[in-house]
Amino acid sequence: MTVPAEQNYKFLTIEKCDMCGSSTESHKLLGQRLNQSLGLRPRRKKGISVSVMKCNKCSLIYSQPQPIPHNIQDHYGTPPESYWSDTYFQPQPNYFSGQIEEVKKLLPFKSGMKALDIGAGLGKCIIALENAGFQAQGFEPSDPFFERAINKMGISPEKLKFGMLEEMNYSPESFDFITFGAVLEHLYSPSASLEKAMSWLKPRGIIHIEVPSSRHLIGKIFNMYYRLQGTNYVTHLSPMHAPFHLYEFHINSFLRLGEKLRFIIEKHQVDVCDILHIPLFMHPILKKIMEWTGTGLQLTVYLRRA
């Protein structure tokens, strides 16, 4: 018997923006998001939906209410083999190399500095950091990813913990560098997660974050497409289906949170990334527009603790 999707969640009403703290009463309603991919003909889809909202002060995009699974493995318990072939389970020489190069400049780097990978996945970032001269460790909440990191990637159990950020404890001011690579958008409270991570970071240490941008041009194009079909669906977020994104961020989201948590933005950039579900001949001009206007898919920020 299939359990209805709404019974797998508790739904939390959001009363204030998680990043800037402004009241949600004045926030903009963008539309509705189903618990599945919308595709090209969303009118044919059935399911439950949540509202997608945009903060009018920092442009954070979030769902209202926020669906929280009763068991985190319902979202992240999918075996990694479902995503990648066997070749992905091999260390890659250039993995995370650009980010490591950047953070070494910002620290500045000394051999033996300590690094933490939040949401370590298969442990490939831990391997890359170790090869670059860091003492690295991390944690991972997905049971199958944690198991594959230990047994397939050869990550030492001493370097990798199993569990969610809310369950983790490290000594205050013990890391020089912390990375949230494609993680923060999955967490129920990004601000609380960053506050906890900041407590583990040494003064003047660096936190690296990669998140979906709330200004993504392709998302706006699909929103217009759905409007022309006479629906109020939007493509932002995926709170009840893979990849289970709960938030999209604007640089203002981090600027306002920095005032509260006492960090500064050392560097940020917006990357175009791949374009999906749009005819190939349109890609060159769309990529140019996204480069010119800063409306690519991924926002990357480097934060320094005061």
Q: For the segment 63-114, what is each residue's pLDDT rounded down to a tens digit?
A: 999 999 999 998 998 888 887 777 778 778 899 999 999 999 999 999 999 9
Burial class (CB in 10 A: 0-12, 13-18, 19+), 199: middle
pLDDT of the residue at 3: 41
| Contact criterion met (CB below 8 Å) for 206 and 176 | yes
Pull the structure tokens for residue 152. Answer: 């397939």
pLDDT of the residue at 7: 55
Q: Which residues contact 115 (CB under 8 A, 6 or more apart)?
A: 129, 134, 135, 136, 137, 175, 176, 177, 178, 179
Which backbone phi and psi does 28 adopt, to 5 degrees? -85, 130
- CATH fit for domain 81-212+263-268+296-305, picks 3.40.50.150, 3.40.50.2300, 3.40.190.10, 3.40.50.11540: 3.40.50.150
Domain residue spans of the chain: 81-212+263-268+296-305
What pTM value is reported for the model? 0.94
pLDDT of the residue at 225: 96
Report the C-alpha gap between 141 and 285 in whole angstroms.
Answer: 39
In the predicted model, residues of the chain with pLDDT beneath 70 are 1-7
pLDDT of the residue at 193: 98
